[in-house]
Amino acid sequence: MASSVEHRTINVNGINIHVAIKGPENAPVILFIHGFPQLWYSWRHQIEALSSLGYRAVAPDLRGYGDTDAPAEVTSYTVLHVVGDLIGLLDVVAPNQESVFVVGHDWGALMAWHLALFRPDRVKALVNLSVLFNPRNPSRKVIATLKAVYGDDYYINRFQEPGEIEADFAEIGTEKVLQEFLTYRTPAPLFLPKGQGFNGKPLDTPVVLPSWLSEEDVKYYTSKFEQKGFTGGLNYYRNLDRNWELTAPWTGAQIKVPVKFIVGDQDLTYNSLGAKDYIAKGGLKRDVPFLQDIVVMEGVGHFINEEKPEEISKHIYDFFQKF
């Protein structure tokens, strides 16, 4: 499959961005935005499916990942930088399309929410996976809140100090780290106690790959993360408070594009930070008024687009067909 995908490097917003593209030249574009610790490759099944159904699939490696540049400064990984990259990319790959379809997962979903928040004129409709819109709370910063709720071993808090978790990951080994993340399916917050494995299990606990994740998939991810390191991806987490400061002008702003949201009931994001309540009590619908559908997939974990590729591709196709 990968061989029929066109790979391009495009210079936008001061960096070189690697992007995978497949589908008819003038077809409507779907921009696929990956999360951590992933790559354009996370969308391999959707690229194949949606390009065969008459769309042009565009899936970049985000800044800091894969074959895209990784600026050295931690401060170069804010939502404003990344949304800037995406706008620049769209100007090049879809110059004649005023707005495009967008699909995001994990950090990619967070970037997609901000793309829709900052530039709703560029988003025709959005399918977001796993990570809910998180409206800015003007009265409290993100990291202090996470530390108060979950303590220092919570994975996001462990990621904050540059170099620290990288050293731990180097000790565990890139392939093992990726296997641990990609196979994680505990419906609860993730903790990374120092010197221990995920959620405190022994470091030498073997990882059994699920049917949807092949050795070949893991090898591809590993080759790219060995080459690039984890720092670029981790720097997104290191900008949570900076994002909070920079997005003050958008306090109380709604997402004003049509949205479908999909999450697995075993996803750690759905089982932490009050996610279920936020959906059930109408918070998401209040903040995303054109929310058209919420799908909770039973027995499905975090990496939903890889675990259930056919279903996710169908959800995307069915939703975008309306526009």
pLDDT in tens, 51-69: 999 999 999 999 999 999 9
- Asked if residue 239 belongs to a domain, the reply is yes
Catalytic residues: 106, 237, 302
pLDDT in tens, 106-165: 999 999 999 999 999 999 999 999 999 999 999 999 999 999 999 999 999 999 999 999
- Asked if residue 1 belongs to a domain, the reply is no
Given this model, what pLDDT does residue 33 score?
99
- Asked if residue 171 belongs to a domain, the reply is yes
Q: Answer yes or no: is pLDDT of 1 > 80.
A: no
- Asked if residue 86 belongs to a domain, the reply is yes
- Tokens standing for 289? 């008024």
Distance of alpha carbon 101 from alpha carbon 40, whole angstroms: 16
Given this model, what pLDDT does residue 13 score?
98
- pTM, two decimals, is 0.97
Given this model, what pLDDT does residue 209 score?
97
Distance of alpha carbon 101 from alpha carbon 289, whole angstroms: 18
Q: Give me the helices (H) in 55-98, please.
A: 79-93
Distance of alpha carbon 217 from alpha carbon 210, whole angstroms: 11
3-state SS, residue 291: strand
Q: What is the SS3 assignment for 184-228?
A: CCCCCCCECCCCCCHHHCCCCCCCCCCCCCCHHHHHHHHHHHHHH
Average pLDDT score over residue span 181-195: 94
- Asked if residue 192 belongs to a domain, the reply is yes
pLDDT in tens, 17-63: 999 999 999 999 999 999 999 999 999 999 999 999 999 999 999 99
Given this model, what pLDDT does residue 3 score?
59
- Tokens standing for 116? 């829709």
pLDDT in tens, 298-322: 999 999 999 999 999 999 999 999 9
Single out the residue of 81, 35, 25 nearest to residue 58, CA to CA.
25
Could you give the dihedral angle defined by the CA atoms of residues 111, 313, 123 and 140, in that order, rounded to the nearest 10 degrees?
-30
Given this model, what pLDDT does residue 285 score?
98
- Asked if residue 214 belongs to a domain, the reply is yes
Q: Which domain holds residue 209?
A: 6-321
Q: Answer yes or no: is pLDDT of 2 > 60.
A: no
**Domain count of the fold of the chain:** 1
CATH number at 33 reads 3.40.50.1820
What mean pLDDT value characterizes the chain? 97
- Asked if residue 282 belongs to a domain, the reply is yes
In the chain, pLDDT over 70 holds for what percent of residues? 99
Given this model, what pLDDT does residue 296 score?
98
pLDDT in tens, 254-283: 999 999 999 999 999 999 999 999 999 999
3-state SS, residue 268: coil
